Amino acid sequence: MAGAEEPAGRQSELEPVVSLVDVLEEDEELENEACAVLGGSDSEKCSYSQGSVKRQALYACSTCTPEGEEPAGICLACSYECHGSHKLFELYTKRNFCCDCGNSKFKNLECKLFPDKAKINCGNKYNDNFFGLYCICKRPYPDPEDEIPDEMIQCVVCEDWFHGRHLGAVPPESGDFQEMVCQACMKRCSFLWAYAAHLAVTKVTAEDDGLVLNVDAVGDQEVIQPENGAHHDGALKEDVPEHGKAAEKEVKAEQMNEPCTSSSSEADLQTAFKNQHLNTESQSGCKLQELKAKQFIKKDTATYWPLNWRSKLCTCKDCMKMYGDLDVLFLTDECDTVLAYENKGKVDQAADRRDPLMDTLNSMNRVQQVELICEYNDLKTELKDYLKRFADEGTVVKREDIQQFFEEFQSKKRRRVDGLQYYCS
C-alpha cells in the first residue's frame, strides 16, 4: 500500500504549493494594474463632456470602424455601454483625446451616453493602433504568427507601441527606465539628442569607448560638433545683424532638422530667464544651448529615459516656441506622463477599496480556511475559463454576463451539496 501511495507523493512534491495569501497577493497585483489603467477614467459617463481629456483609457471598435474606414476612438464608458458586444482594440491610454462614439465616423450607431456630439473631433490624433496594428512592422498584438517573445513599449511622443527588437537599441531592464522615445520621434525631435548624452538611461556620448571609431565614417550615427553660435562655456557669440538672423536660423534648422533655439540678444535671454525661472548657472538662459555647446551624437535608434527626466528640459521662451512648433509641449508637463495617470487611478480607487476576503479569512479557523481555499480555487478556475471565451471572441464582458456566471456557479454548488451523502458510525 505504501508503494501505491508513493507516486502520488512524488507528484505532490513536483506540484508547486500556493497559499491563499499568495493567490490574494497575485489577484491584488492584477487589480492594481487594472486600477492603474482604468482607475483614472470614468466607467459610467462618456468623457465627451470633458472635451479633450489630458489622458484617458481608449478603445477602437473594429465592428463599427473596420480597417478601410476612418479611424475612431471611444472612451471607457462607451466601450461598456455602446459597444459591449463588439470587437474592440484596447489602446491603453492616449493624451488629449475626445470620445468619437456616435459621431459621423459611426454610420449606424448613436452614442447612448452622450448622443449630442460634434460630427468630428478635429483635435484628435490617430495612428495604426486604431486598427489593431502596432510598431514599424504593422502587426497585431498579440500576434499569432510571431513566436518570438518580446515586450511592447509605448513611445511617449507618438504613443505608438513597438517591439523591443524593432527600436534599434536593446531596451534596458523594464525597471531601469520610465519612458521611451522611438526612432522616428527622435529624428523629428532631434533636439533631444543633446539631452540624451546626459540624461538617457543608456547615455549616448561621443566619449564612450568604441562608440565612434572614425568620425568620417560612422554609419547610421552623426557626430554633432559644438554650434557656431555658442562657446564651450555656454555663452553665445555676439549677435548677428537683424537681416541675417532669419537666413542663419533657416540654415541651422535645415542642417540640424530642428528649429533654431538661439536668442536674439543677451538682454532677451535675461528676460526669458526671469520669466521662466531658469537655471542661474546658464549665461545664455537656455539649457539646450549649453548642451549644444558640447559634442554629442545622433543615432538611428530609440532612446530610454529615467524618472523625472522631463523636468530637466529647458523652458526658456525659444525652447517653448520650439516645442510648440514640434507639437511636443506636453513634454514639459509632468502630469502628462502615464505614471502620473496611473498614480491618480490608484489613489482614486484606494479610498473606496477594502479587502473583504482577507477580513473574512482572518476571522476563520483552520478548517474553515481550507474550505474557503477550495471554494476560491473552484471559483477562480471556472471564472477564468468563462472569461477566456470573451477574450477569444474579442467581446466585452457585460454586467449581465457576470450575473449569469454566478447564477450558474451557485446552481452547480447547490447540486454538489445536495449530492453529498452523510454516514454515522
In a domain, 387, yes or no: yes
d(CA 128, CA 68): 11
| DSSP class of 69 | B
Lowest mean pLDDT among 5-9, 313-317, 408-412: 5-9
Q: Would you place residue 119 in the very low, low, confident or very high pLDDT band (cuts 50, 70, 90)? A: very high
Is 347 a domain residue?
Answer: no
pLDDT in tens, 243-258: 344 444 444 444 444 4
The better pLDDT of the pair 200, 210 is held by: 200
Q: Which residues of 183-210 are buried (b: 16+ CB within 10 A; e: fewer)?
A: bbbbebbbbbbbbbbebbbeebebeeee
Q: Which residues contact 278 (CB under 8 A, 6 or more apart)?
A: 272, 285, 286, 287, 314, 315, 316
**Which residue range is the domain that position 72 belongs to?**
32-124
Residue 407's pLDDT band (cuts 50, 70, 90): confident
Instruction: Tell whether 385 is covered by a domain.
Output: yes
Tell me whether residue 404 is in a domain.
yes
Instruction: Report yes or no on 381 lying in a domain.
Output: yes
Question: Is 54 among the domain residues?
Answer: yes
Structural domains in the chain (count): 2
Q: Which pLDDT score is estimated for 237?
A: 36
**303 and 184 in contact (C-beta within 8 Å)?**
no
Please identify, among 73, 99, 124, the residue that sits at the C-terminal boundary of a domain.
Answer: 124
Instruction: Report the pLDDT value the prediction gives residue 416, as an integer from 0 to 100.
Output: 62
Q: Say if 68 falls within a structural domain.
A: yes
Final residue belonging to a domain, choices 124, 140, 174: 124
Beta bridge partners of residue 95, listed in sequence order: 55
DSSP state letter for 74? E
Q: Which of 124, 144, 172 is the last residue of a domain?
A: 124
pTM metric for this prediction: 0.64
For residue 211 the three cell numbers come to: 562608440
Our CA angle for 73, 76, 81, nearest 5°, is: 100
User: Positive or negative, the Cα torsion across 413, 416, 419, 425?
Assistant: negative
- pLDDT of 135 reads 97
User: What pLDDT digit, counting tens, does each position of 326-345 carry?
Assistant: 999 999 998 999 999 888 87
List the alpha helices (DSSP H) in 212-286.
Answer: 242-256, 266-276
Does residue 105 belong to any structural domain of this protein? yes
pLDDT in tens, 54-87: 999 999 999 999 999 999 999 999 999 999 999 9
CA separation for the pair 309, 289 (Å, rounded): 17
424: exposed, middle or buried (Cβ count in 10 Å: 0-12, 13-18, 19+) = exposed
Provide the pLDDT confidence category of residue 219 given band limits of 50, 70 and 90. very low
Could you read off the pLDDT of 176-197 as tens digits, one per residue?
899 999 999 999 999 999 999 9
